[in-house]
Amino acid sequence: ELIPDPGQRYYRWLPDTEATPPDPEELAKEILASLKLDAPDMGMFPKGDSKEHMGLVGWHMWLWSEAPEDNQWGPVSASKSEAGITVTLTAEVDEVVWEMGDGGSVT
């Protein structure tokens, strides 16, 4: 067993308790950059991409969105902790807007 000599001085380094805490906004940006997000698949009939798929003025048009994967429609969540601060980010599709090419849009 070691018995310290009472005449000796001992030094111990303590980390600075006044360290700057992490910026939650920066943590959120890091989380967002790491998320694997894909756009939902968009569908339209008639397609309008060739003569065989052209629509007619006044004819019905169908628009839809498909998202077979969670990372397409959401919600997708991730968290990151640093120096006692935890940030959780949740991403999900809020709305889908089709721009029709004539200045109009459909939500």
What pLDDT, in 10s, does the model give residues 68-81? 888 898 999 999 99
Predicted TM-score (pTM) of this structure:
0.63
Q: Rounded to whole angstroms, how far apart are CA atoms 99 and 46? A: 15
pLDDT average, residue stretch 53-70: 85
Type of residue numbered 92: E
Cβ pair 99, 44 in contact under 8 A: no
> How many domains would you assign to the chain?
1
Residue 46 domain-assigned (yes or no): yes
Residue 56 domain-assigned (yes or no): yes
pLDDT for position 24: 96
Q: Rounded to whole angstroms, how far apart are CA atoms 20 and 99? A: 46
Residue 33 domain-assigned (yes or no): no
- The answer, yes or no, to whether residue 1 has pLDDT greater than 70, is no
What pLDDT, in 10s, does the model give residues 7-55? 888 778 877 777 788 999 999 999 999 999 998 888 888 887 888 888 8
